[in-house]
Structure 1
Amino acid sequence: MRPFINHLLVVAATLLPVAVSYAAEMRVAGIFADHMVLQCEQPVRIWGWADEGDRVTVTFADQTAEASADEQGAWSVTLQPLAVSVQGRPLRVDSGRQSVVIDDILVGEVWHASGQSNMAMTVGAVSRELDAAQADIVAANLPAIRFSRIHAAESSEPLSDLGQQATWTVCTPETVSRFSAVAFYFAQRLHAELGVPIGIIDSSRGGTPIEPFIPKTAFDAHPTLKRELELANQGDLDGIWKLPGGVRARDTNWLPGRLFHSRIAPIRLFTVRGAIWYQGESNCGVQEDPRDYQHKMRALIKGWRQALENEELPVYFVQLPGSGAGDGWPYLREQQRLATDLPNSGMVVTVDIDGAAIHPPNKIDVGQRLASWALAKDYGHKIAFSGPMFDRQEIVGDRAVLHFHHAESGLMVADKEGLAAPQETPDSELANFEMIDKSGMWQPAKAKIEGKTIVVTSANVSSPLAVRYAYSVTPDNCNLYNRNGLPASPFCTRPDTLTYDPKLPK
């Protein structure tokens, strides 16, 4: 009987090719999943794939939109701006007899969160060192906060979709321990002050430099970036490491664009309000060169804005903390400060936050300071969002007079203990100031507040060229604040006076 059975199988196969072989499954892009948050008050793109020419209908809330799949099977519709909604509603996608229903969708504010391990550090990890985080876990019954974690492996080329379906997790005491702590405290404050749902897409990956998160197209902004891309295309990891301003590329995860390709490119059309970023450690560690990081930071911001089709995308990033882990840390902090010149961007200073080693546990202040930037700049709240940022210096005889942005409220000497707000200590001296002259030797200096300026002098310098503040790997007692209680960034008034020679391989 076996030959007869085989004959029947052949006949069946010839009768059913269209139904079995050619009917593609209509699907929605992998970022769309139950419990997600859609961005409010902006057009929202919904996209996916079907057979060429198939009509696809998308229904959400009171809107219906239609599109046809193109020659590659891709389809896309745009929903008109949606009002905030805390009511979980379904999104339905239909094509012929096929339907996809995504349940429990809220509408609110959506933010990307990315970077390396200090962004990836979870609420659970923080709670093992901070009692306050333990209490926050117990109180985290916050169903309007939703997180999606993107874990995709690196890719040499941009991907059109995620490798596996994303999941969106509702914030509860049982789930919050797995969330990025920085992103959670950012989301928690936004939710508390705005009263709207908050969605976070976390694409961070520990142990990686900035290069793999920058789109390849953005490596045309500076000679170092151009050369890094050339060497990467040749597979020359050692060449990238030896390049002045390059990076120690330990494996392909570190190469230009590799994580952008797999974690951001597949969801670049997903509408978000903005992005928060915490990274830099792997660009200034042992035998790692922090020079030119400012150009990389600008390339990241401009590259994301172009890829996400939003030239005004807000991007707020975190300056490395005071608990340094390598000789390059003070120079990386300076590079981050120099990258604050792009519009719709801002930097959170953390040099005053207690903690040891590379992962200081206080991510509460970090997340809340990031939220201050967003609340002030994107949601119109009249609040302080930045500490003093060096503007310019005047040399008057043997003195340097320093002027600052974000000093309108005045300057003060203060001390911050743990999670408490900084407390003014008017009898204390400003610490961590140094001065240099043409000898090229940095000398300890005294600094005092005069109005909204700081006057710096040194007994060893009669003709000063420049001043720097908090310029050590682990600066202690960084006590310069504005009267809004926000810390001053480390700075050098003339970066051209700095000399740094990283111990690169020969």
Structure 2
Amino acid sequence: MVASVDLETRILQPQHFEQTTNVSRKKNRMPLSKVFSSMVASVLALSMLSATQLAAAAELRLAGVFGDHMVLQREKPITIWGWGEVGTEVRVTFADQTSRAKVDAGGRWQVVLNPMASSHEARELVCSSSDKQITVRDVVVGEVWLASGQSNMAMTLKSVADRLTQAQDDIRAADHSSLRFRRIDEPASRETVADIPPKSWTVCSPTHAGSFSAAAFYFASKLQRELDVPVGIIDSSRGGTPIEPFIPREAFQGHPTLEQELALGDREDLLGIWKLAGGVRARDANWLPGRLFHSRLAPMKQFAVRGAIWYQGESNCGIEEDPRDYQHKMRGLIQGWRDAFGNRSMPVYFVQLPGSGASPNWPYLREQQRLSCNLPHTGMVVTIDLLDGDIHPPNKIDVGDRLARWALAGPYEKKLTPSGPLFDRVEIDDSQVIVHFQYAESGLMFAEKQGLDAPVEKRDGKLSHFELADAEGVWHPADATIVKRSVAVQSKAVHRPVALRYGYELSPQHCHLYNRDGLPAAPFCSNPKLLTEPVIRTE
């Protein structure tokens, strides 16, 4: 069926024939009369194929996201949909529920099943009409999460295992029948795609675990252990991509940069977007607004999920890339996905870029990420302490664990601290600045983290990476001392400080501020307006 849809698209594009004709003339020097006859024959043949395909399209089928070994979201209404012959009645049966619908004039049908409790039991989802039956096998009910972003989300468990022995052990022990993964890797599309190719979900096993997103694997594994329910991950990440193609078109509003990016993107003006203040360096049309949302998320936006995890940002702050206004793009992504999936409070948890910066603009984007985490039901994972010289740090174990903490403390209402210290406010008392944090109820500490080990408190440690800005906006290194749940900061070079920042470096080494829950403080600036403008394209 997917091949038929692709062929129909080509049939509707006259340039396909034009290109074929040009090639024929160059290679074979065919006379025009024969070229015309060949074109007529091709049209007739394609017309016959198209009729066959249209007939096949009328056959009963399920949307491609439904496949063997899938996970259905517990405790939510479950929409199941597909296509068939107009007017035909379709019956869907799962567990103790049966629901019916008629195929509408557009050839589409859908039913809604009542919310269900979680179940590890492998059951069949049966969809039938008068002349056809489709059976989806080994269906369980639990928690379903979207996972997306660029290469640090796409980085596989096998790639991590090449560098960490712990991940090698985890692959060998990955016999987890309650973990299921569904990869979506369709190419970018200018228009919204109606469906994705049908494919089975993959049950986690030592044979298959290496191909899973490592961050998503450790996130899902922790949820499964803590909740004892099946967990499904739908992974739509794509390496090397900026945020723009993942944002729904409808969400490019409410800020001038978003609105201008959409207008320029509709004209496929890549240079215009690159030169736009706050724009993006789109390498080709695949990275334009909405293009990956159209092909990877829009086709399954009726599929019930609990929430989403996101790891991206590198391709919005590289060499000659402009990270300004990324916070507004993050809000567009979050609110756009919530609107698309029909859940205005859908949890979205994301990863702040690590300390292994690849360009001077990384610190600026980390701050933009921090500024975007004030939407309700969002949370930011801090990775500044996961030291590595690679743009793809292998420690996705702590990343997945920290993402899971946000989910466990959020929709699953577990009593735990989801985050390390996040900047709240400052008090300026003459030459001293007192900074207060969220998520510091357990207290603050100086700690060192080595590899995968938990941070260890060092009572004689001295905090670093704090700076104070003077009245002229010049930043100076400062001394910092923990005072219970706050930090006192001062510098001999700054008598009347106006702002404070922490960890604002390309690759800050040994940021030692943690809460006593063992989670690191996020880099921050008390007045982002004083940050140095990013290095961007100037021509």
- The interval holding the TM-score normalised by the smaller chain is over 0.9
Q: 1:401 aligns with which of 423, 434, 447?
A: 434
Confirm or deny: 8 A CA contact 2:67 2:137 kept in the other structure: yes
Contact 1:316–1:370 (CA<8 Å) still a contact in 2?
yes
Of 80, 84, 92, the match for 1:50: 84
Partner of 1:123: 157
| Partner SS, residue 366 of structure 1 | helix
Distance 1:262 1:407 in 2: 42
CA distance in 2, matches of 1:128, 1:354: 17
Partner of 2:408: 375
String of CA shifts for 1:196-246, please: whole Å, max 9, x gaps.
100000000000000000000000121100000011111110010011111
2:185: which partner in 1? 151
1:91·1:105 contact (CA, 8 Å) conserved in 2? Answer: yes
Change in Cα spacing, 1:58 to 1:117, as seen in structure 2 (3 Å) is same
Paired residues for 1:481-492 under 5 Å: 481-492=514-525
Partner SS for 1:48: strand
Deviations along 1:467-503, whole A, 9 cap, x unmatched? 1100001001110001111100000011111121423
> How many residue pairs align between the two structures?
489
AA partner of residue 266 (structure 1): P
Shift of 1:439: 2.1
The alpha carbon displacement at 1:53 in A equals 1.2
Once the two structures are superposed, the pairs formed by residues 60-139 of structure 1 within 5 Å of their partners are: 60-139=94-173
**Which letter does structure 2 place at the counterpart of 1:499?**
T
Q: Where does 1:67-466 land on structure 2 (aligned, <5 Å)?
A: 67-162=101-196, 164-466=197-499
Alpha-carbon distance in 1 for matches of 2:165, 2:92: 46
**1:150, 1:166 within 8 Å by CA — same for their partners in 2?**
no
CA contact 1:400–1:457 (8 Å) conserved in 2: yes
For 1:23 and 1:295, the matched residues in 2 are separated by 41
TM-score normalised per structure 2:
0.89
Matches of 2:200 and 2:147, distance apart in 1: 16
Q: 1:500 aligned to 2:533? A: yes
My pick for the range that moved more, 23-32 or 182-191, is: 23-32
Residue 13 (structure 1) aligns with: none
Q: Deviation at 1:375?
A: 0.6
Sequence identity (%): 58
Q: 1:87, CA displacement in angstroms?
A: 1.1
The CA deviation at 1:23 is 8.1
The unaligned stretches of length 5 or more in structure 1 are 1-16
SS in 2 for 1:472: coil
Distance 1:53 1:282 in 2: 48
SS of match in other structure, 1:207: coil
Distance in 1 (CA, whole Å) between partners of 2:448 and 2:532 is 31
Runs of at least 4 residues of structure 1 off by over 2 A?
20-23
Amino acid at match of 2:354: P
1:34 counterpart = 2:64: no
Q: For residues 299 and 148 of structure 2, what CA distance do their matches in structure 1 show?
A: 15
- How far apart are residue 159 of structure 1 and its match? 1.1
Q: Secondary structure at the match of 2:353?
A: coil
The 8 Å contact of residues 436 and 442 in structure 1, kept in 2 or not, is answered as yes
User: RMSD over aligned Cα, in angstroms?
Assistant: 1.4
Unpaired runs of 5+ residues, structure 2, are: 1-50
C-alpha distance in 2 between matches for 1:166 and 1:301: 27
* Deviation of the 1:52 alpha carbon: 1.4
